[in-house]
Amino acid sequence: MLLVNTLREERERVLTGLKKRKLDAAAEIERIVRLDDRRKELQSRNDELLAERNQLSKEIGDLFKSGKKDEATAKRERVNAIKQDVSGLEEEMDTVVRELEEALLQLPNVPHEKVRAGSSAEDNEVYRPYEGTLPKVGSDAKPHWELAETYGIFDLELGVRTTGSGFPVFTGQGARLQRALVNLFLDRNTAAGYTEYAPPLLVNEDTARATGQLPDKEGQMYHVQTDDLYLIPTAEVPLTNLYRGELLEADSLPIRLTGYTPCFRREAGSYGAHVRGLNRVHQFDKVEIVQLAKPTESYAKLEEMVDHVAGLLDELGLPYRILRLCGGDMGFTSAMTYDFEVWSAAQERWLEVSSVSNFETYQSNRLKLRYRTERGTELVHTLNGSALALPRIIAALLENNQSPEGILLPEVLHGYVGMQRLQPVVA
């Protein structure tokens, strides 16, 4: 959530930045400033009345002690009138504060100056292109959903039977591969200084709002209505909220967190090869990394996280490129986002496997997450990234490494999986 002071003091920067999202927010910003002005007026008048009431209450006691009953009674009537005025002011202030917060919640984050303007993925910048030769697997190569049947990796029909479309059941070698990838990613993350957590998979409304899933992505989250809880769309949500409301010491930053969770997301319904198999599912496993950083260091930490994710893909031997998203393709809460895409040889297209983002103070303002400085307290910057999301990683590993001898696994996985290649399942 943007700070009202930012909207006041940096109005032109905010307007210019939001135009990169194809959003003209001038009228809304003016409305927010007016609401904040009214809030201040009401608060000031309320404070004056309360001070007058306190002074009168003191005087009334002295007057009664002095036997000046009539004067005391008149002042008591004024106190009663003040109570009514204060009640009305507080009621109006509650309404204004609620409208102000709702208006602020509707404004997305301001893109960083390096983010280009644009309205869709077509306008994204290729930040680091893939410079090698893309693997070719021949005209007889199979996409991962066909390889899954041959090698017993996952079963979509079992998922439909038990739950519904978009909930794959990993079996045999597939379940083992998935577990191996989770362990590899967690091991690499903890070796890089991230503390591992196993967070809840359900969160309350306050938690979802604090990291920006509400109200922006309400339709994409699974909601347990009886308990008013939400299934997490990413471990970012509970991990970042572990520090909600905290006042941190400067020397404790940066704080690095990592965690593995299943993730749950409703996806817009569509059909075709681009959403077949593991390309788009409602439940998937992902390992996340989160950092809480000083504002002066957050973009250096963002590059650090990008390099870390790149290192994971290098170890897996997967061809990848890095995009810097344009304003219109970035998430609602992000100031800058890098997307990683791996090459899918059988499908001959790029598949997104990670997003790494800096939210600056947008989330921490909602979280009320600050750190102590020589000047007082300041909001921290929050960052997160997928390290990594498993479905499309598995899809690319299967497709790119298929051979007559089986599906060859990258060397880094041999010890984790306990084999060098996956073998076809004997019917």
Are 95 and 142 contained in the same domain? no
Range of the domain at 197: 121-422
Are 72 and 164 contained in the same domain? no
Are 127 and 241 contained in the same domain? yes
Query: Higher-confidence residue: 72 or 198?
Result: 198
φ, ψ at 421 (rounded to 5°): -150, 155
Are 225 and 290 contained in the same domain? yes
Per the annotation, binding residues are: 234, 265-267, 281-284, 288, 352-355, 384
DSSP-derived pairing of the beta strands 320-324 and 125-128:
antiparallel
User: What pLDDT is attached to residue 113?
Assistant: 97
Are 92 and 137 contained in the same domain? no
Are 100 and 141 contained in the same domain? no
Per the annotation, binding residues for L-serine are: 234, 265, 288, 384
* CA dist 399 → 68, 145, 409 (Å): 94, 9, 11
Instruction: Give yes or no for residue 139 having a pLDDT over 90.
Output: no
CB-side neighbour CA atoms (13 Å) of 177? 29
Instruction: Give yes or no for residue 278 having a pLDDT over 60.
Output: yes
Q: Is 10 within the bounds of a domain?
A: yes
Residue type, 51: A
Are 167 and 96 contained in the same domain? no
Are 98 and 170 contained in the same domain? no
Q: Return d(Cα 188, Cα 190) in angstroms, integer.
A: 6
The residue out of 105, 140, 168 marking a domain boundary is 105
CATH code of the domain covering residue 395 = 3.30.930.10
Per the annotation, binding residues for ATP are: 265-267, 281-284, 352-355
- DSSP 8-state secondary structure symbol assigned to residue 117: P
Are 72 and 176 contained in the same domain? no
Q: Coil, strand, or helix at residue 289?
A: strand
The residue out of 78, 105, 132 marking a domain boundary is 105
Are 144 and 237 contained in the same domain? yes
The residue out of 55, 70, 105 marking a domain boundary is 105
Instruction: Give yes or no for residue 217 having a pLDDT over 90.
Output: no
Q: Is 405 within the bounds of a domain?
A: yes
Contacts of 154 (CB under 8 A, 6+ apart): 148, 168, 169, 170, 171, 174, 278
CB neighbour burial string for 60-88, b if at least 16 within 10 angstroms, e if fewer: beebeeeeeeeebeebeeebeebeeebee
User: In the numeric block, which tokens belong to residue 388?
Assistant: 């990594």
DSSP-derived pairing of the beta strands 370-373 and 349-358:
unpaired
Q: Is 427 within the bounds of a domain?
A: no
Q: Is 110 within the bounds of a domain?
A: no
Residues 82-100 have a mean pLDDT of 96
Number of domains forming the structure of the chain: 2
pLDDT in tens, 407-426: 999 999 999 999 999 999 96
Q: Is 113 within the bounds of a domain?
A: no
pLDDT in tens, 320-369: 999 999 999 999 999 999 999 999 999 999 999 999 999 999 999 999 99
